[in-house]
Amino acid sequence: MKTVFFDLDGTILDTLEDLKNAVNYALNFYNYPLKDLEFVRKAIGNGTQVLIRRCTPEGIDESSYKEVFNCFKNFYLNHYSDFTRAYVGIKHLLESLKGKCNLVVVSNKDNDLTQKLINKEFPGLFDIIQGSYLDKPKKPDPYLIDSIIKSYNLDKKGSLYIGDTDVDKQSALNAGLDYRLVSYGYRTKEELEKMCPNDTPFSSVNELANYLLKWVNL
């Protein structure tokens, strides 16, 4: 059976508003300048630790960074789904693919939060749900994807990775997977064309669905 790997943030779920709110709560708590939605959008992609490093002032010491990160994490744990919603059409796509292929979500988001979000928004649809751990490598390192493939004895040649950033592209390449990108998430079509000039991203969930439904039946 074929396998489709999905990124989470910006690919199947719009989590941007909740992430921005958590970032700004922590920044405000320590009297650092706040970040607008556009800044946070561009800072997302390599996990929350990197997100906070990008949002805190340049030159901040490690102790202060850790304080901001912990403040962000504690707030986000209680507000991770205030405004988070599935992209229109994604749930229907997953329902259409269910049983025709293995459905996997692999995210740089904390594993516990990844489990909670997926079970809340897509109960029973994903066969494998995998988030990250603070002490383990994150995407684009292939660790998470390789661990899933090894644990579940999946076929790399029959696998496809779907994501919305250049980090996702590199994640797939590092793991030896074919991939496709979408431009309705956290990177615009123009940004992806500059970052990944040889790719043609899907601009809508409908385009992605048409492709995937054909791909699983090839």
Distance CA 164, CA 23 (A): 21
Mean pLDDT of the chain: 96
SS3 category, 109: strand
Tokens read off for 160: 């496809």
Query: pTM above the 0.75 mark?
Result: yes
What is the pLDDT, as a whole number, of residue 218? 76
What is the pLDDT, as a whole number, of residue 19? 98
The second-level CATH assignment, the architecture, of 3-14+84-215 is 3-Layer(aba) Sandwich (3.40)
What is the pLDDT, as a whole number, of residue 134? 87
Q: Where are the domains of the chain?
A: 3-14+84-215, 16-79
Residues of the chain with pLDDT under 70: none
Residues in the chain: 218
What is the pLDDT, as a whole number, of residue 36? 97
Distance CA 211, CA 88 (A): 17
Tokens read off for 99: 């049983």
- pLDDT tens, residue by residue, 178-212: 999 999 999 999 999 999 998 999 999 999 999 99
What is the pLDDT, as a whole number, of residue 89? 98
CATH number of the domain at 16-79, please? 1.10.150.240
Distance CA 134, CA 172 (A): 21
- pLDDT tens, residue by residue, 28-42: 999 999 999 999 999
**CA distances to 164, 177, 197 from 13, in Å:** 11, 22, 25
